[in-house]
Chains A and B, each alone.
Chain A
Amino acid sequence: MTNPDPQDVVVINNLHKAFGRRRILRGINLRVRCGESVAIMGGSGTGKSVLLKHIVGLIEPDLGAIQVLGQRIDELSSLDLDAVRLRIGYLFQGGALFDSMTVADNMDFVLRRHTDLRKAERTDRIMEALDWVSLQATANQYPAQLSGGQKKRVALARAIILEPEILLCDEPTTGLDPVSVRTVSNLLVRLQRRNMSVITITHDLLCAEIAADRAVFLHEGKVLAQGTLSDMRTHPHPMLKEFFH
């Protein structure tokens, strides 16, 4: 593993992963610095979600090293892994809100387990988070009663309820209308201003344009190009030309 910079919150070296005979990741290298917002882009099936799940330890690599917040995530015991996970927020593609709980309970569940806050303090924190995504009125509703955009915003509020240092977003704007795309993307920008590092998987150029400092383009399990969105647009590779035009 190359020497990590103390400013790096995520360092991935030569990451390989296969499911059966299907090789998904074929030597990914990636660095994300503290407070940076990175968009991971690429066609379907190029291993973007698999890459994100490696960062939070949901999938173990076949080969390679993953360092998150100074710790080798692929070598940690489950107890130590949980300690690192508390410093990471994860916004799942479909929101992954717990169906059997109200919106407020979805967040209270996490707070109750991981903080010593009293009920009133937890309620304040929940309402503050919901206010931040402009959805205070939904506190007592169930996920099934929310629209797609509302679910994403509630899931985002839940992902940051413990004030993590890194936020991982798996396609936060997929399936949303352009107004909701702007709303969610602007929320990601506001999180970055709080010095949170944000890694976002997206196909959405508008979202990447608003929320990301830098883009990393995956193709066939490898990093094909990385840089600003302008760099990507002028890249000579046909795959990138097709994607960005």
Chain B
Amino acid sequence: MPGLKPFTERLGDLSLFSGQFAWQVFKRPFEGRELIRQMDEIGTKSLVLVLVTGCAIGVVLSMQSRGTLARFGAEAVLPSMLALAVVKEIGPVITSLVLAGRLGAGIAAELGSMRVTEQIDALEVAALNPFRHLVVTRVLACIVMFPLLTVACNLVALGGGYLEALLSSELDYRLFVDQAFASLRLSDLIFSTAKTGVFGFIVAITGCNFGFKVRGGTREVGQAAMQAVVVSSLLVLVANVVLVRISLMLFG
């Protein structure tokens, strides 16, 4: 089948690249300074995007659901429905997809440009391990920051949902919070947030892989950025299916 071979080759390469990450992540010296810089870059520069996304999700979900729930006389379950939908699925997945767009492309383009302008070669020539400095730090930063950004997105989404509900039906915030959190189990909260660490790994390792392997010029850098977004988004969606299945097996 045309296109299948390059795709499987790419996946194989991505697997080897992930294996290299697993090998390098425990090696010294640790790039602590660069790791903190990357966490700051990812956190601060993505926060506004994530917050706006979260707010929009909460408001729209609340607007769309209330009418349907009202038809069945179930308007009172809106907070529970919002909390379950946002915290268990929509928050983690949408945050990860939005970040896949921003960070997947950004990482691939940055590393691709570094490859084209010989900055990666310069690291190697200076006896500095480019993989550890560029890849390990970015992947670890994404593994840490994705869950934190997801928590921020969830909170803002619930806040947005509450505001919309308040404007429409003057819902008391204590009632909203009580109902919202009563429906959530701790395992739901922990698992759905922790799985975004896996999504962070997928987005970062894909972006790094596509950027690191760029050969040629600016055209190839652009292609790498675009492909990184497509592949990492697809992998996040597939991983989500697998992780949801695992969570259902573990926690019911």
Contacts and interface: CB of A to CB of B under 8 A. Distances in A.
Interface residues of B, number: 13
A99 interface: yes
Contact of B125 (A90, A93, A97, A109): A90
B122 A96 contact: yes
Contacts of A94: 117-118
Contact of B119 (A88, A90, A98): A98
B119 A99 contact: yes
Contacts of B128: 109-110, 113
Interface in B4-60: 29
B127 interface: yes
Contact of A114 (B113, B118, B121, B127): B127
Interface string B72-114: 0000000000000000000000000000000000000000011
B178 interface: no
A207 B154 CA distance: 62
B1 interface: no
Interface centre among A56, A96, A97, A113 (most CB of B within 10 A): A96
A82 B119 contact: no
B217 to A, nearest CB: 12
Contacts of A85: 124-127
A92 B126 CA distance: 12
A58 interface: yes
B125 A98 contact: no
Interface of B: 29, 113-114, 117-119, 121-122, 124-128
Interface of A: 53, 56, 58, 82-83, 85-86, 88, 90, 92-94, 96-99, 109-110, 113-114
24 contacts: A56-B125, A58-B121, A58-B124, A58-B125, A82-B127, A83-B127, A85-B127, A86-B127, A90-B125, A92-B118, A92-B122, A93-B118, A94-B118, A96-B118, A96-B119, A96-B121, A98-B119, A98-B122, A99-B117, A99-B119, A109-B128, A110-B126, A113-B126, A114-B126
Given A85-B125, A109-B128, 10 more contacts: A58-B124, A85-B127, A86-B127, A90-B125, A92-B122, A94-B117, A96-B119, A96-B121, A99-B119, A113-B128
